[in-house]
Amino acid sequence: MSDILSLDIETENYSWDIGGWNNKNLFKTSVIATWDGTDGTIFSNKNIQLENVNILPLHASDIGNHISEHIEKGGKLLGHNIIGFDLPVIRDSLDCWAAGDVMSKSSDTIIDTQNLVSKASRILSDSIVTSLDILSKCTLKEGKIMQSIDAPEQWALGNYNQVAEYCLKDAQLTYELYKYGTEYGVVKSLSLDTGREIKSLAFHLQKLLRLTLDIVLLLRIKKYTLVKIIFLIAE
């Protein structure tokens, strides 16, 4: 178990079934998976049978407690597009207050690997593919076991175990991608311009930005302390 909890969700329906991505309250969540580097947990109301995985009902309270307990222990929540999709869908479609609470906390609480790569791409002006499948194939030499577009169809066919396994695998890939990035400072993907493999400096930039913020904070503290000392001396 680590301080990182990687999360992924799948839905029963498609965005075009509900009038677009903005109607996240209309998504029907089929399965939620989390991975902490050691233990996997599946939330679903179907009879999921996977070995060495904790299976829990798809209830807002159970999911909320699972997330909240991790955050309260000083942990962080990880996901690929977790800010733009996973957490808002959990919050809006399941009425899960914990997901909304996490989203309202500081940015350090949530780590979004897609956002990291996208921001680095904009800063460095290098067009790069940000999909989890391509990032994982280029960086980890291992891709997704199913494509997102196929998951609702497979769920409708009753292939619940396959979709749950796929969801958990995505959480695991995101976890490994993040661990690789933090260790080596880069992840690999494909250039949108040339199709060639390139490196994203997303994690180097993240460290640089954090260092910059720490320096700014330190300077502010020192400035405040100096002013306070001068004021006390003047008294």
Per-residue pLDDT tens digits of the chain, which is 235 residues long: 589 999 999 999 999 999 999 999 999 999 999 999 999 999 999 999 999 999 999 999 999 999 999 999 999 999 999 999 999 999 999 999 888 888 887 667 999 999 989 887 777 667 899 999 999 999 999 999 999 999 999 999 999 999 999 999 999 999 999 999 989 888 999 999 899 998 887 776 565 545 444 444 455 555 445 444 434 434 4
Which domains can be identified in the chain, with CATH numbers?
Answer: 4-200 (3.30.420.10)
- Model pLDDT, residue 126: 72
The pTM assigned to this predicted structure is 0.86
- Model pLDDT, residue 190: 93
pLDDT digits (tens, 9 = 90+) for 160-210: 999 999 999 999 999 999 999 989 888 999 999 899 998 887 776 565 545
- Model pLDDT, residue 231: 43
**Cβ contacts of residue 68 below 8 Å, gap of 6+?**
98, 101, 102
What does 16-70 look like in DSSP terms, one character per residue?
GGTTSTT-GGG--EEEEEEE-SS-EEEE-SS----TTEEEE---HHHHHHHHHHH
Side-by-side strand order, sheet with 40-43: 53-56, 40-43, 29-35, 4-11, 76-79, 110-112
- Model pLDDT, residue 217: 47
How far is 153 from 17, CA to CA, in rounded Å? 13
How far is 115 from 83, CA to CA, in rounded Å? 8
Closest CA to 23 of 32, 31, 14: 14
- Model pLDDT, residue 43: 98
Kindly give the residue spans of alpha helices, DSSP state H, lying in 33-159: 60-72, 87-93, 97-104, 113-124, 132-140, 151-156
How far is 120 from 215, CA to CA, in rounded Å? 21
Residues 132, 144 contacting (CB under 8 angstroms): yes
- Amino acid sitting at position 108: D
How far is 108 from 87, CA to CA, in rounded Å? 15
Q: Which residue in the block uniquely carries the two structure tokens 């207050």?
A: 97
